Amino acid sequence: MAGQFRSYIWDPVLIVCQILLMQLIYYSCLGLWIAALDLVVHYSPSLDQIFNYEVLGFSSVPGRVSMMAFILNSLTCALGLLYFIRRGKQCLDFTITVHLFHLFGCWIYTSHLPYTFTWWLLNLVCIALMAVIGEYLCMRTELREIPLNSAPKSNV
């Protein structure tokens, strides 16, 4: 079709690879954030800080550290959306997919669905941050001017 800027060919292999890559970025960066913050407060990292929703909360140091790590991880994953997804329209889709898989991971780890208000609120805030910042960054790169002159400039 003439006149289209991009071709929109549905590529399921690309989509699955992007989902797996975003999951890898999500959990590896979250683990790094938790390890770094735990090092600051002299606490030993554990998988409970990632998958156990009962750890999250304002009343304990590990809960506050985990919540801070999740917020910082949203910013890191927004950069992942910029570098690996590159489409503003797809940022919300990939953000929801990453957090949906995280919900399933928490469900499997604890053997029941998360029911604390803190867990749900934190994940909604993280979804909003990751999607909005990722979309903003992607839209900035999509709206850059396309150079029409490809010849090098002369200094004459």
Task: Determine, yes or no, domain membership for 71.
Answer: yes
Task: Determine, yes or no, domain membership for 93.
Answer: yes
The first and second tokens of residue 47, run together, are: 């998988």
Helices (H), the chain: 12-41, 48-51, 61-80, 91-110, 117-142
- Which pLDDT does position 1 carry in this prediction? 44
Task: Determine, yes or no, domain membership for 5.
Answer: no
The answer to whether the beta carbons of residues 92 and 131 sit under 8 Å apart is: yes
- Which pLDDT does position 125 carry in this prediction? 97
Residues of the chain with confidence (pLDDT) below 70: 1-8, 150-156
Name residue 66's amino acid: S
Task: Determine, yes or no, domain membership for 154.
Answer: no
Task: Determine, yes or no, domain membership for 155.
Answer: no
Positive or negative: CA dihedral 48, 50, 54, 58: positive
Task: Determine, yes or no, domain membership for 106.
Answer: yes
Number of independent structural domains in the chain:
1
Task: Determine, yes or no, domain membership for 115.
Answer: yes
Tell me the pLDDT tens digit for each residue of 113-124. 999 999 999 999
Domain of 72, in residue numbers: 12-142
Task: Determine, yes or no, domain membership for 153.
Answer: no
Exposed/middle/buried for residue 68 (C-beta within 10 Å: 0-12, 13-18, 19+): middle
- Which pLDDT does position 25 carry in this prediction? 97
